[in-house]
Amino acid sequence: MSKALDVLETALTETNLRKLLAIPNYSVHRFVAEAINLCKPMKVFICNDTKMDTEYIRRTAIARGEETPLANPYHTVHFDGLHDQARDKESTIYLVPEGENLGEQLTQMNREKGLKIVQTRLDGSMDNKKMVVRFFCLGPLDSPFSIPVVQITDSFYVAHSEDLLYRRGYEYFRRLADDKEIFWMLHSSGKLIHSVSTDWKKRGVMIDYKENTVYSMNTQYAGNTIGLKKLALRLAIRKADRESWLAEHMFLMAVHGPSQRRTYFTGAFPSGCGKTSTSMVRGNTIVGDDLTYLKIIDGKVRAANVERGIFGIIRSITQKDDPVIWDVLHSNQPTIFSNVLITEDETPRWLDDGNEPPSGGINYSGEWFPGKIDKNGEEIPYAHNNARYTIGLEGLANLDDALDDLRGVEVGGIIYGGRDTNTWVPVQQSFDWTHGVVTMGASLESETTFATLGPSGVRKFQPFSNLDFISIPLGKYIQNHLDFGNNVKHTPCIFSVNYFLKDKEGNYISDKLDKMVWLKWMEQRVHGDVNAIKTPTGYIPIYEDLRELFKCHLDKEYSRNEYNSQFTIRIPELLEKIDRIESIYRRTVPDTPRIFFDVLIEQRSRLLETQHDLGKYLLPSAFG
């Protein structure tokens, strides 16, 4: 203790030292002292979550140029560097102790070698900069879901963003038990020019899961730097593995059914696939849009939102399609926009916002004008495809009152969805828990989007919409899901959805608003209010039930032709999918549970038999 205290007494002012030592946990003191020794900041600021401290962080983010004020005094904009606009999967590396292997899906490195790289890149990285130390809690405070997190960063934008996104935890840390497991996050933006990280070629995220520590270097994009988001998810998955619960990349929402009934659903969708928009569907209420912990409490599956805000993709948000988010973005609720365009009158614009394209402004490339091209001769759009907004949930008109329920909410259904142009129907229900885990969760595929670096539109294997974040061998992760369902008497129903199915001409055959009907149908299925048609891959809706739901909730006449087009069972494509999935698991996941292959083989047999008897492309009426 004396060594850490010596460092802290030297580096901290009396006020900041007093704030830190009010937290009586020696591990916290040691982590801060070690970060100071490594990063060598000019000054250290300890945030105690008072209004004065949190306002100081916001003001400093503006003063340093990390954020710029907009016409609305509650709004700011942040620009990431041209090469730092999305999560960098390739440079996110697990530090694996000698003798361990996490599987081929994960980029990994020998732990000792990786820690040497961390030491080299972070050594002196905060020279002439101020270090910010913040304390947060993942999940509701003082609940079975709570995980305390320490975030150290030299970016006031990161510290400000987390203030909107997470539950402040300074007072929680002051009463923290000495043996409570803590997640540790250390981030440095590295060398900056005009408040932008310039050493992006040395960008990296190193995950030392042995010590529950994540190091983030030479980057500012929030997905690489906000430790409590997907970085902490990787640590939480390992913790969940040890403790027999699930840490998931899922929204959490209440679908409102008949007689004021609320049924809670979680949903896993890769980024850019309708996850946030589903959780925000009109007439329902949201608990969270991105990260959920699921635990068995009193014999029931219960879930809590890890966060208290949204870091959402802003592209295509319009007043017509997304009225709740639109209203918040045009209100006085604190908001950080990132990588949008700022017009001359200091208002933000984003792609597909429902207005005429702007004539000029400032974006991530500097001064922007129509026809501006980059060094490769490619036209620069006025806002980035992956432009974002950061807000707290408290301003949402549809916020569910269970956000901070200490016991979470009981889960009625789990939804898996991705970008799939030719295979899955818009909505279907699995036969049971095991069938859903295998054929919907573990077999999820999705076309890539702009939310990660690399080409878009490529079909990728995305089990549970969590592949980028799974920090244990994939086969073990699947087995954990199977075991989790076996430990409760009544498991949640499992569904798949597909908003991106196309016809032969390449046109989408579902409307953006149709997801409301799919949600209402799933809610009724959870309670056994409607019957369904059994197909070789699961249960699909009956036409008359959907027609009634479309009329009731969208005031839309839903035709038999639309139904037949959307719910045609495409057997050749379904068989090809099974072949792809089975091949991936047999080649790359040696610890895949045997039951996984058994379920796929049974599904293939049903499809082949149906194809032999009835044909390749079947209308719902073919199944009775």
d(CA 361, CA 560): 48
Residues 152 and 180 in one domain: yes
Report if residue 77 sits inside a domain: no
- Res 106: pLDDT: 84
Residues 239 and 251 in one domain: no
Residues 256 and 237 in one domain: no
Region 325-340: what's the mean pLDDT? Answer: 96
Q: Does residue 252 contact residue 264 with C-beta atoms inside 8 Å? A: yes
Per-residue pLDDT for 538 more than 70? yes
CATH code at 386? 2.170.8.10
Residues 418 and 556 in one domain: yes
Higher pLDDT pick, 512 / 52: 52
- Res 224: pLDDT: 87
81 pLDDT tier (thresholds 50, 70, 90):
confident
Report if residue 73 sits inside a domain: no
| 429-467 pLDDT per residue, tens | 999 999 999 999 999 998 865 545 555 567 889 999 998
- Res 459: pLDDT: 84
Report if residue 43 sits inside a domain: yes
**What DSSP assignment string belongs to 584-622?**
HHHHH-TT--HHHHHHHHHHHHHHHHHHHHH-SEE-GGG
| 87-136 pLDDT per residue, tens | 888 889 999 999 988 887 789 999 999 999 999 999 999 999 999 999 99
d(CA 338, CA 471): 29
Would you state the structure tokens that stand for residue 120, as one six-digit string?
């080299």
Region 489-493: what's the mean pLDDT? Answer: 96
- Res 456: pLDDT: 55
**Residue 552: burial class (beta carbons within 10 Å; 0-12, 13-18, 19+):** exposed
Residue 273 designated active-site: yes
Residues 19 and 133 in one domain: yes
Model pTM?
0.94
Query: In one letter, which amino acid is 370?
Result: P
User: What does the angle CA 314 – CA 315 – CA 317 come to, to the nearest 5 degrees?
Assistant: 70
- Res 558: pLDDT: 97
273 pLDDT tier (thresholds 50, 70, 90):
confident
d(CA 152, CA 206): 15
Region 312-326: what's the mean pLDDT? Answer: 91
Residues 510 and 374 in one domain: no
Report if residue 72 sits inside a domain: no
Per-residue pLDDT for 295 more than 70? yes
Overall domain count for the chain: 3
Residues 481 and 585 in one domain: yes
Query: Per mean pLDDT, which range of 139-143, 337-341, 479-483, 507-511 is the poorest?
Result: 507-511
d(CA 590, CA 603): 21
Would you state the structure tokens that stand for residue 163, as one six-digit string?
């203030």
Would you state the structure tokens that stand for residue 435, as one six-digit string?
């069938």
Per-residue pLDDT for 193 more than 90? no
Residues 571 and 437 in one domain: yes
Q: Identify the sign of the CA torsion 168, 171, 177, 182.
A: positive
Q: Give all strands (DSSP E) within 139-280, no chain letters.
A: 147-153, 167-168, 183-188, 192-193, 196-197, 204-208, 213-217, 246-248, 251-256, 262-268
- Rounded to the nearest integer, the mean pLDDT of the chain is 94
d(CA 222, CA 229): 9
Placement of tokens 């730097």 in the chain: 225
Placement of tokens 């806002």 in the chain: 383
Report if residue 80 sits inside a domain: no
Per-residue pLDDT for 285 more than 90? yes
d(CA 322, CA 335): 17
Residues 228 and 256 in one domain: no
Residues 554 and 530 in one domain: yes
Final residue of a structural domain among 353, 377, 395: 395
Domain that residue 363 falls in:
311-395
What percentage of the chain exceeds 90 in pLDDT?
85
> Among residues 39, 47, 137, 273, which one is catalytic?
273
Region 555-582: what's the mean pLDDT? Answer: 97
Residues 287 and 352 in one domain: no
- Res 326: pLDDT: 95
Q: Does residue 219 contact residue 100 with C-beta atoms inside 8 Å? A: no
Residues 359 and 408 in one domain: no
